[in-house]
Amino acid sequence: MNASGKLVRDRVPEIIQADGADPTTYIAGPEEYRRRLREKLNEEVSEFLSSEEAAALEELADVLEVVHALAADLGIDATGLENIRQAKARDRGGFTRRIVWTGNY
């Protein structure tokens, strides 16, 4: 484990205890929490990008969990974030048509 620790899901300490170990933890302050959430997002995205197709949905769910936590830390819930996403999709579109831009002529 990293000597400086890492952000883990809320139930991880009790899962570790159930396995017979005694985890050392602390509660991050607001600034550290936001920094560690960003680090966790990078970690989860990396895991998704390197995952095989069979594990991709599990990894993508982890990314989404961190995104929801970041949104909450920024003061908005999942519904509010979804509303922003939908508004952006209405204004600029989504990614369903697979368009690749190669520049202007």
Per-residue pLDDT of 35-82, as tens digits, reads 999 999 999 999 999 999 999 999 999 999 999 999 999 999 999 999
Residue 98 covered by a domain: no
Is residue 43 domain-resident?
A: yes
User: Is residue 49 included in any domain, yes or no?
Assistant: yes
Tokens of 93: 């579109």
Locate tokens 């996403």: which residue?
Answer: 85
Nearby residues of 51 by Cβ (< 8 Å), 6 or more positions away: 58, 59
Q: What is the pTM of this model?
A: 0.88
The domain tally of the chain equals 1
- Phi, psi angles (nearest 5°) of residue 44: -70, -40
Residue 58 belongs to a domain with what CATH number?
1.10.287
